[in-house]
Amino acid sequence: MPKKLTNTNYGEEGRDRFFSHCTPFALGTPAKYGGDNSPEVKTDERLTDQEAFKMQDWSSELIERLFVHAENGDPLAIRVLVFIASKSTDLLETLAWKNTSLVEDIASKMWKWPANISKKGIVARDNARLMESINLGKKCTFKANAQPWKESTQVAMQLKYWLYVNREDIEEVCGLTRLTKDNWGKWFEVAWDRVMAWKNGKPESDPFLRRIGEHQGKQKTISAGLKNPKDSVNSNIRDRIKGAVEASFRTITKFD
C-alpha cells in the first residue's frame, strides 16, 4: 500500500505514487451520446452453439441459485442479483447504441427488452429513444392482447421462442412449413413434445406447471373408485396444463 497522504496537496511525486496503486481511470463519452463506437476488445472469434448454450445454462443456474437465497431473505443474494441485472442491462444498452443494427435484428422480434428504471426523467427518455432505435417489437409475432402476466402465457411464450430458435431443424425433421394459422397446432405439438421430454412425461411434477393445471378448476370426482386415483388426478392436471398452454399459444400467435 502507498504511504498514507495527509492531504490532497501531495505534489507530483506523491500523486504518481498514489495513482500507481489505483485502478485505471478512463473517462469517455457514452455511445448513446455520440462516443466512440469501436469495440474496446476486438476479436473475430464467434461462439459455437454448444458454447453459447453452455454459458446460458451456467448463468441461468447461478441466477436461480441466487434467487433461492434471496427469496429466503438473504440480503447479500439480493445485492448480487441487482448487480448482475444492472451490469447486464448496462452492457446491453451500450451494445445497442454501439451496434444498433445487430441488436435490432433480435429486439424487433421481441415484445420486451431489459432496461433500467428510475424516477429520473432522463432514464425514461433514454429508454424511449432506445426502443425506437432498436425497433422493439416491430416484427414480434405476439398479439397485443397476449396477457403476459398469466402463467400459461409465460410458458407459451417460452415455447414460441424455442420454436423460433430451432425453426430450421424443426422444419427439416418434422416436415413443417413456416408457422401459419393452418398448421399452428402441429407446431405446438412439437413444442409440447419437448416439454414432455423435459419433464419425463410428467409436466405436472413441475410446481409451476402444476399450478397452471390446478388453476383450471377443482378436481372432479371421476377418480373415485379407481385402483390408483392419484394417477388419474395427475393425468387430469397434465391435460389441463396442456390445454391452458395450447390456448395461450394460440392467443399470443400473430399470423401474417
pLDDT tens profile 112-122:
889 988 999 99
Supply the pLDDT for residue 57. 86
Other Cβ atoms closer than 10 A to 81:
15
The string of pLDDT tens digits covering residues 66-87 is 999 999 999 999 999 999 999 9
Q: Angle, to 10 degrees, between the axis of helix 184-198 and the axis of helix 229-252?
A: 140
Residue the block writes with cell 425506437:
132
Q: Is the domain of 152 the same as that of 128?
A: no
Supply the pLDDT for residue 13. 64
Q: Is the domain of 240 the same as that of 221?
A: yes
Q: Which parts of the chain register pLDDT below 50? A: 1-2, 4-6, 219-228
Residue 76, in any domain of the structure: yes
Supply the pLDDT for residue 85. 93
Q: Is the domain of 110 the same as that of 160?
A: no
In angstroms and rounded to an integer, the radius of gyration of the C-alpha atoms of the chain is 25
Supply the pLDDT for residue 220. 43
Sign of the dihedral defined by the CA atoms of residues 154, 156, 161, 162, in that order: positive
Supply the pLDDT for residue 74. 94
CA dist., res. 209 & res. 198, Å (int): 12
Supply the pLDDT for residue 137. 82
DSSP 3-state of 104: helix
Tell me if 3 sits within 8 A of 17, measured CB to CB: yes
Q: Is the domain of 88 the same as that of 167?
A: no
* Region for residue 225 given its phi and psi (left: phi exceeds 0; alpha: psi -120 to 50; beta: otherwise): left
Residue 254 domain boundaries: 141-256
Residue 23, in any domain of the structure: no
Total structural domains within the chain: 2
Domain final position from 82, 113, 140? 140
Residue 199, in any domain of the structure: yes
Domain final position from 140, 175, 193? 140
Q: Is the domain of 123 the same as that of 159?
A: no
Q: Is the domain of 158 the same as that of 196?
A: yes
Tell me if 154 sits within 8 A of 251, measured CB to CB: no
Q: Is the domain of 235 the same as that of 209?
A: yes
End-to-end CA distance of the chain: 66
Q: Is the domain of 248 the same as that of 156?
A: yes
Q: Angle, to 10 degrees, between the axis of helix 75-98 and the axis of helix 49-71?
A: 140
Domain final position from 121, 140, 159? 140
Residue 24, in any domain of the structure: no
Supply the pLDDT for residue 164. 82
Supply the pLDDT for residue 21. 60
